[in-house]
Structure 1
Amino acid sequence: MADNKAAGGQTDTLQGTDVAELVVRYLEAIGVEYVFGVPGGAVEPVYNALARSARRGGPRAVVARHEAGAAFMAEGYTRETGRLGVCIATSGPGATNLITGVACAYDNSIPMLAITGQPSLPSFGRGALQESACTGVNTLGMFRHCTRYNSLVSHPDQVESKLVSALMRTHRAPYGPAHLSFPVDILRAPAPSSWLNYDLRSLLEKPSLLDINVVRQLAEEIRRADKIAIILGGTCGEATEAILQLAELTNALFVTTPDGKGLVNPRHHLYRGVFGFAGHYTANAILLDDPDVVLAIGVSLGEWTSAAWCDTVLNNRLVHIDVDDEHLMRSPMARLHVRGRISSVCEMLVDILRGDQAKAAERAGKISLRSIEGMLREPNKYESDAVPIKPQRLMHELSRHCPPSTRFYADAGNSTAWAIHYLQARDRRISHQHDFGRTHPELGERRHDHSGWLRVLMDFAPMGWAIGTAVGGARGNPECPVVCITGDGSYLMSGQEITVAASEKLTVLFVILNDAALGMVKHGQRLAGAEATAFELPDIDYRRLAESMGIPGFLIRRPEDFDSLDFDAILRRRGPTLLDVRIDGEEVPPMSLRMKTLGTEQ
């Protein structure tokens, strides 16, 4: 099939081929390289097809240790490559284990295809092992609540239309996962004698849709404004270049949401930090400084990206630009809604405003530069020599030692808070070549459009997410080093996935913030004046746990221990490495926003 590209409407034959083979051929045709999952009897035909596919250079199986980890890996692969992540699980508990990862992709708008198995159709309702159809534990019903497309394939002639529908739905806003469930006898059934060779490349192409009249109206709003602020959100990956040009054309100060931080260089002369959870006072300041217009671009306006629905954003100065109607529905008070593909909207704005450089130059003289350290809540702890190690100092060391091409994944909990506020990229490219006479010695490596240097979760945020997504991201782009920042609680949940990185020989540095506690729970209880309970974890030497798996591990007790590590060698090694970092568990992460929304702020 992959050789008959763009042959829409023609038929081809699959003599002697089963339905499972047809499914894998379709995945191959759209450029899928890996299928992440855990095998089982109900999906054995798919694994047989993947084995044949791997021999001819097509998609191959990557075996996760838990189905949730498989879904996280598929998500990490999508975030890094822009290609569709695919995960697979067997029937019953395999499917229910997969749901957490699929739900995470759904709530964070990540395209994904999830495939699950079922017992054979004739056994439905008869108490088959791990039955999960409508007559058993109804996994199809469960997936309905966390997918954009969800269907049981009950006849071989349905395969093609349902698979293409599922693939198309993952590529249209609002983005998210699709789920197909196959009875094992359908997977083994002969493929249809003829099949339509859809032009998948055109069907899955992102449309460059925008309302030209509304964009022109926005351009006039911008021209009339003397002071403009931009909030850059986490879904702006392919549009970041155009947004930076727009900021420079208008000399608009810009901030990012926590999930948008990784899309820009924090040294950009117009950047003022993170707005929202674990953010910077400098970001709040520009929104409190009465801008005439606030452009929220690709911002979901959920709890963490709106600073708990702060009225400094949700007011009639807001212009909300997004392709996702679900995001736009959260800003009914906005002055203007601009619906369309973000890159298309911003590129058109740049073209319209390109002649306004004189006004931009006038604004430029009013902008003062600000250092990264000037944004931090406790800059003195960023380079503290105290023992145990301050988490702030850990973020400084990772920022200092990791090369510009590093992808950081920060797990749910304290790891996310510390990374959002304190982690910085090193020597990264910051803007388009049109920079109106400015020079920036910090220009560096160019990132992939679909990826950022920091990945965090904003909505559905399961512990252990970063462990799987780091492996999936590394599998998608093995040439860039990956750093997974996780807590000891998250590692105890999902740390076994490190062995996938070992099996696949992937360069992933796992950094465990070890304070023998569920840190965000502990500090949340203290800040709320609640009972101090149920947060303790055992004191474990994770270095030795890694070594027992044949993985290099290091115990880091004091700041000078970092200088004894050969980071260059670690981040070139074809395989994972683990750092067990004993952090000061008394340091309170920047989590006041979370306490406010829980109603426990004191």
Structure 2
Amino acid sequence: MSIDLFGKQTKTTSPSKIQDAADLIIHYLENIGVTHVFGVPGGAIEPFYNGLARSTRRGGLQAVGACHESAAAYMADGYQRESGKLGVCVATSGPGATNLITGVACAHDNNIPMLVITGQPTIASFGKGALQEGACTGVNVIGMFRHCTKYNSLVSHIDQLETKLANAILRAHQSPQGPVHLSIPVDILRSPLAGKAELYDLNKQLALQNSACDEQGVAELLEELRSAHQPLFFIGSGTSEAIDKIMQLVELCDARFVTTPDAKGLINIRHKAYRGVFGLGGHSSAMYGIELNKSIAVAFGTGFGEFLSAGWNKALLNNKLIHVDASINHLLQTPMAKLHVQGPIAKICEKILDKLRLERGPVSDNNTNYFPKVNPMVVLEEPSKYQSNAIPIKPQRLMKELSENFPSSTRFVVDAGNSMMWAPHYLQPNNARKTHLSCEPNQLPFGERRNHSANWLRLTLNFAPMGWAIGAAVGVARANQSGPVVCITGDGSYLMSGQEITVAAREKLPVVFVILNDGVYGMVMHGQRLAGAEPIGFELPVIDFAKMAEAMGIANFTIKSPSDFEQLQQQQIANLSGPLLLDVRIDREEVPPMIMRLKSLGTAQQESMAS
């Protein structure tokens, strides 16, 4: 037994039972608290799966088999986001490895710590035309992964393995975080260790990583906040460990705040100081809040890519901006900022709070800062359609039904395409974040207890592959089955990756797959119309996805109108023992809030021509 980074005891391989290289890898994964490995088996990775089987028999790691390797990477991504633990995905050599690349690239652009292990033929066969060789004398897999990983190496001798493995795990967690890759020939994977393994305890090093704080920057930030009148806070998804402290700063500084689309799920959207989502699928109230802001704007834990910054909007990106982040890569995106403060955001906020509490008193612990139901300060586009009873169902109304028909423990995972504009804009789930700022999670009423870093809304915005949410939802549910996971995806994405629903069925995971079924690539169709482009290539076949699910033995339901939701039993939803598919026939003519995207593409000027 050992203690992992999260303070929990973990079962690890006894040093005396480490038979080969595979056992050594598994020992390290167990030691840092990893519980599941996602992948597709094959000949060149077989020794690793043998080690997994031995670990499973003694109550250790569990293997989760994906239908496609890219989905295995998405699952590892979702698992990491939900659990905070290292995501791990594995694949065999050749096409198994190349199939991983899209998922790994997505993790790279979204700073997801992930260990990627791929197999190779025997090292003695390199250069001889071995089946699926991925060395420099074949299809160079190492070269392919070089540009989407933080660490990337071929293990060419058993004596290299432990050092390279430790280096990879540490680098994955080092800011800026991201995926790392080890390519290991099959003969090395099954090799007995040449000598006694060092068995480094990486938990101690991981706990110390990224702990340095810019003390001068903190002091300057404190002075800026002291003198600011109603500053604006711009909260990103990198604040999960610090969100409660940031909300205390909101109170002490009388700040207004907006979120990026992927950070909406970190806050209570009923807070009176909240002005909505800024960026893709955002709210006009958030845009106005930034444009009318006369004070400083403090950005916490976010990059400033296209979807996060509303197409690099200069109302935010100017010399009033203060950028607080652990990632130097994020800070490099704001050279115009008034101040950069680098370091762990929670630590920075705690230092500021220590000073401001002494000067301004403690944070009040009551619910007077929250609206009882809907937040009137957040302005929805076309609010009448949010209430519409029209048939086919409006996507806006669908978001309302999803908000109201699922328990507060629900996690929403949203796919690329129109879904990632509808959901951040219109989803308003009930009681999704605790309101008691001074309470520890275990002191809260049962219905409000959540993981301290829980985010009820998961998106991928920097790479955004279609089908990501389908695999990621499986990974989220595998990490935490305390409530349902709702995957919001389109029919185009589901046709690409929908087979992964069988993984949720095999694992008995409570995932609800909500398919926005409109027979088109919606983002493409609406983008072409608004830009005055040629209407081409967006039509999809008409599919009855409920019948597809039925053929797989999976519970399903077809929704054509808002009243169809009345037949769904909330008690059944809250106690799912496996996946449920909702085939939702939406109105394809409804245009999502996508003008920002068109401006970034340089096509929004033609909007008037199309209308």
Relative distance call for 1:386 and 1:87 in structure 2 (3 A) is same
Q: Does residue 494 in structure 1 map to residue 493 in structure 2?
A: no
* Corresponding position of 1:321: 324
How far, CA to CA, are the matches of 1:271 and 1:443 in structure 2? 25
* Aligned 8 A contact 1:464 1:491 in 2: yes
How far, CA to CA, are the matches of 2:122 and 2:268 in structure 1? 53
* Corresponding position of 1:119: 121
* Corresponding position of 2:383: 379
How far, CA to CA, are the matches of 2:433 and 2:105 in structure 1? 34
How far, CA to CA, are the matches of 1:428 and 1:45 in structure 2? 43
Q: Does residue 424 in structure 1 map to residue 410 in structure 2?
A: no
* Corresponding position of 1:9: none
Q: 2:396 aligns with which of 383, 392, 401?
A: 392
Q: 2:72 aligns with which of 70, 73, 97?
A: 70
Structure-1-length-normalised TM-score: 0.94
* Corresponding position of 2:31: 29
* Aligned 8 A contact 2:173 2:206 in 1: yes
Q: 2:84 aligns with which of 75, 82, 86?
A: 82
* Aligned 8 A contact 1:429 1:444 in 2: no
Q: What stretches of structure 1 move > 6 A for 4+ residues in a row?
A: 3-6, 358-361, 365-370
Which ranges in structure 1 are unaligned for 5 or more consecutive residues? 7-11, 436-440
Alignment of 1:442-591 (within 5 A): 445-591=448-594
- Using the TM superposition, give the Cα deviation of residue 224 of structure 1 relative to its aligned residue in structure 2, in angstroms: 1.0
* Aligned 8 A contact 2:19 2:193 in 1: yes
Q: Does residue 354 in structure 1 map to residue 357 in structure 2?
A: yes
- Using the TM superposition, give the Cα deviation of residue 375 of structure 1 relative to its aligned residue in structure 2, in angstroms: 1.5
Relative distance call for 1:385 and 1:298 in structure 2 (3 A) is same
Residue-by-residue CA offset, 1:394-443 (whole Å, 9 max, x unaligned): 000000011111000010000110001000121233444359xxxxx999
Q: Does residue 233 in structure 1 map to residue 233 in structure 2?
A: no
* Corresponding position of 1:406: 410
> Residue type matched to 1:394 in 2?
L
> Residue type matched to 2:575 in 1?
R
* Corresponding position of 2:46: 44
Alignment of 1:236-275 (within 5 A): 236-275=239-278
Relative distance call for 1:358 and 1:291 in structure 2 (3 A) is farther
How far, CA to CA, are the matches of 1:384 and 1:170 in structure 2? 47
- Using the TM superposition, give the Cα deviation of residue 208 of structure 1 relative to its aligned residue in structure 2, in angstroms: 2.6
* Aligned 8 A contact 1:2 1:25 in 2: no
> Residue type matched to 1:427 in 2?
N
Matched residues, number: 589
How far, CA to CA, are the matches of 2:486 and 2:3 in structure 1? 37
How far, CA to CA, are the matches of 1:346 and 1:141 in structure 2? 41
Q: 1:155 aligns with which of 134, 154, 157?
A: 157
Moved more, 188-197 or 150-159: 188-197
- Using the TM superposition, give the Cα deviation of residue 71 of structure 1 relative to its aligned residue in structure 2, in angstroms: 0.3
> Residue type matched to 2:408 in 1?
P
Q: In angstroms, what is the RMSD of aligned CA positions?
A: 2.3
> Residue type matched to 2:288 in 1?
A
How far, CA to CA, are the matches of 1:262 and 1:244 in structure 2? 14
How far, CA to CA, are the matches of 2:457 and 2:192 in structure 1? 45
Q: Percent identity over the alignment?
A: 57
Relative distance call for 1:264 and 1:367 in structure 2 (3 A) is closer
How far, CA to CA, are the matches of 1:541 and 1:444 in structure 2? 37
* Corresponding position of 2:10: none
Relative distance call for 1:586 and 1:13 in structure 2 (3 A) is closer
Which ranges in structure 2 are unaligned for 5 or more consecutive residues? 8-13
Relative distance call for 1:444 and 1:228 in structure 2 (3 A) is farther
Aligned to 1:352, the other structure's residue is in SS state: helix
* Corresponding position of 1:438: none
> Residue type matched to 1:384 in 2?
S
Structure-2-length-normalised TM-score: 0.93
Q: Does residue 415 in structure 1 map to residue 419 in structure 2?
A: yes
> Residue type matched to 2:151 in 1?
Y
* Aligned 8 A contact 2:248 2:363 in 1: no
Relative distance call for 1:445 and 1:16 in structure 2 (3 A) is closer
How far, CA to CA, are the matches of 1:164 and 1:23 in structure 2? 9
Aligned to 2:558, the other structure's residue is in SS state: strand
How far, CA to CA, are the matches of 1:385 and 1:300 in structure 2? 39
How far, CA to CA, are the matches of 1:125 and 1:562 in structure 2? 60
Aligned to 1:387, the other structure's residue is in SS state: coil
* Aligned 8 A contact 2:4 2:33 in 1: no
Relative distance call for 1:555 and 1:16 in structure 2 (3 A) is closer
* Aligned 8 A contact 2:237 2:263 in 1: yes
